Structure 1
Amino acid sequence: MASITVRNLDDHLKARLRVRAAQHGRSMDEEVRHILQATLTEEREPAADLGERIRRRFASFGGVELPEPERAPLRDPPEFD
């Protein structure tokens, strides 16, 4: 098994980890392994593209129907000699 070392861990964060480990009846090392295991093995929905995320966010407001603008006929391309 691999090992890691976490440097420069904030004292407040370490204290919270110690309390959380005690609440779950685990050592701090066991608690860290549990947190990593739970976080990294959870199934995540693939990230939607930006347009889809915007659509989902505003879907509850309902759709918007915009009139189609009138368009002029296409021009003939310029002629080159």
Structure 2
Amino acid sequence: RAAHHGRSTEADIRDIIEAAVRPSERVKLGSLLAAIGRDAELSNSDVEALQQNRDKAPAEPMTFERSCWTPT
């Protein structure tokens, strides 16, 4: 397959993995949220109220260190 596409085996494997985890028909989050807003018939003032009340603090990155959890 890689030779047929004119690339290295590694590049072909990366392409296969990317296609598996990012299918072209996936629903994107922004599009989904916009559709939910339209279905809920939110007005501009509703959206502004949500914007004013949302948490604007930056998200904390997740950690996966063993000290964060206790195995059972």
Tell me the TM-score normalised to structure 1 length: 0.31
* Bigger Rg, which one: 1
